[in-house]
Amino acid sequence: MKNKTKIIGILNITEDSFSDGGKYIKLTESINHIKSMISDGCCIIDVGAESTRSGFKEVSADKQLNRILPVISEIKKIKDTIKISIDTRSSIVAEAALREGAAIVNDVSGGSNDKDMFNVVSKYNADIILTHMPKEHLIGTNIKCDDILKYIEDYFNNLIKQACLSGIKQKNIIVDPGISFGKSGDDNIKILKNMSRLVSVFKRVCIGVSNKRFSSKIFNEIKDDEMSIASLAVSTLAAYNGIEFLRVHDIDENQDAVDVAWKTINS
């Protein structure tokens, strides 16, 4: 029997994230959103202070920490059983957050941005989400390859070897294929159609499509206020295919989609 898919709630404390930039910069706004996510059934909150939208700019470790650490403190006050994930490419930010009680590091650079990241994750025996985000994403273009699945499988196999050589336990590694990160619509769809293959190869897989227009073939008739429709469809499919984590903005409806899929599988 598959394990039930877990929802990771996104908390972007940034000015420029593509979906919710600027909404939760103030601590009071973050606190209200945290309470809402927990009320909706979120068991993991992913806190990030650096946007990963196409062409994003680096945010200093000090600026990230000034925003992240007070939020971690508030999450623990509100409900100390909530798992905290830190969305950062900086080992300095990761270590400070892990020291304060975070359990997961979500590194969209796959550890390539900071040579000390793997050592820090190993030191705290933390889980790490390794994302495939090619350099093309930084300049708003897409990678070109004959077979996106083989491409990312080779990428993750090499990356996992590096992580394990740095002392990270393989059971602590989660892979995220990086939907919409430097990939064409066709490649995004191919990845989503083959989620079960990724699970069979890597076991622990995270998918994030929340509010992303990952294929013009799907979204050419969908308005901005209807974006959640695609997220719910993917969440249902992901749960059916054994994806361990879904990173989403809207907790309540995505949790419902996972629940329906779970009950259907086990009925």
Q: What is the CATH number of the domain that holds 139?
A: 3.20.20.20
**HEC string for the chain:** CCCCCEEEEEEECCCCCCCCCCCCCCHHHHHHHHHHHHHCCCCEEEEECCCCCCCCCCCCHHHHHHHHHHHHHHHHHHCCCCEEEEECCCHHHHHHHHHCCCCEEEECCCCCCCCCHHHHHHHCCCEEEEECCCHHHHHCCCCCCCCHHHHHHHHHHHHHHHHHHCCCCHHHEEEECCCCCCCCHHHHHHHHHCHHHHHHHHCCEEECCCCCCCCHHHHCCCCHHHCHHHHHHHHHHHHHCCCCEEEECCHHHHHHHHHHHHHHHCC
What CA–CA distance (Å, rounded) separates 78 from 30?
Answer: 12
For the record, the structure tokens of 93 come out as: 């930010």
pLDDT-flagged residues of the chain (< 70): 1-2, 16-22, 52-56, 211-227
Domain that holds residue 234: 6-265
| pLDDT for residue 141 | 81
1 found inside a domain: no
pLDDT of residue 231: 81
* pLDDT attached to residue 18: 47
Asked if residue 11 is part of any domain, the answer here is yes
Q: Is residue 191 part of a domain?
A: yes
pLDDT given at position 209: 84
Prediction pTM value: 0.90
pLDDT of residue 223: 67
Instruction: With respect to residue 185, please indicate whether it lies within any of the assigned structural domains.
Output: yes
Residue 151 lies in a domain: yes
How many domains is the chain partitioned into structurally? 1
pLDDT of residue 7: 94
> pLDDT at position 192, please?
94
Q: Is residue 253 part of a domain?
A: yes
CB 210 within 8 A of CB 249: yes
pLDDT at 218: 61
pLDDT at 41: 87
Give a yes or no: residue 217 inside a domain: yes
Question: Tell me, what's the pLDDT at 17?
Answer: 46
Does some domain include residue 227? yes
